[in-house]
Amino acid sequence: MIAQLTGKIIFKTEEGIVLDVAGVGYEILGSKLQSLPTESATIFTKYHVGSDNNPSLYGFIDYESKKLFLQFLSVSGIGPKTAMKILNSDVASNILEAIAEDDTNYFAKIKGVSKKAAQKIILELKNKLVLGPDNQEDNLLYEALLSLKFTRKEIASALNRLSLAGLSDQAKIQAVLKELGKK
Does residue 155 sit in the same domain as residue 101?
no
Does residue 119 sit in the same domain as residue 159?
no
Does residue 48 sit in the same domain as residue 74?
no
Burial class (CB in 10 A: 0-12, 13-18, 19+), 130: middle
For position 99, which CATH number holds?
Answer: 1.10.150.20
**Domain termination site, one of 61, 76, 102:** 61
**Domain termination site, one of 129, 144, 159:** 129
**156 Cβ neighbours under 8 A, 6+ residues apart:** 93, 132
Does residue 160 sit in the same domain as residue 145?
yes
Does residue 25 sit in the same domain as residue 68?
no
Taking phi over 0 as left and psi of -120 to 50 as alpha, with beta for the rest, 149 belongs to left
Does residue 102 sit in the same domain as residue 113?
yes
Q: How many domains does the chain have?
A: 3
Query: Can you give the pTM of this predicted structure?
Result: 0.68
> What gap in Å lies between CA 176 and CA 141, rounded to an integer?
9
CB 141 within 8 A of CB 175: no
Q: Select from 91, 98, 94, 49 the least CA-distant residue to 73.
A: 49
Range of the domain at 19: 1-61
Does residue 108 sit in the same domain as residue 143?
no
Residue 131's pLDDT is 46
Per-residue tens of pLDDT for the chain, all 183 residues? 788 999 999 999 888 999 999 999 999 999 788 888 878 889 999 999 988 889 999 999 888 889 899 999 999 989 999 999 999 888 887 898 889 888 999 998 999 899 999 999 999 888 776 444 445 566 677 778 888 888 777 877 787 777 777 788 888 888 888 888 875
Residue 94's pLDDT is 85
Does residue 1 sit in the same domain as residue 47?
yes
> What gap in Å lies between CA 57 and CA 63, rounded to an integer?
15
> What gap in Å lies between CA 65 and CA 37, rounded to an integer?
19
Does residue 81 sit in the same domain as residue 54?
no
For position 26, which CATH number holds?
Answer: 2.40.50.140
Does residue 74 sit in the same domain as residue 28?
no
Does residue 83 sit in the same domain as residue 122?
yes
Does residue 123 sit in the same domain as residue 68?
yes
Residue 6's pLDDT is 94
**Domain termination site, one of 61, 77, 103:** 61
- pLDDT tens for 103-133 read 999 998 999 899 999 999 999 888 776 444 4
Q: Select from 126, 128, 183, 123 the least CA-distant residue to 155.
A: 183
Residue 150's pLDDT is 81
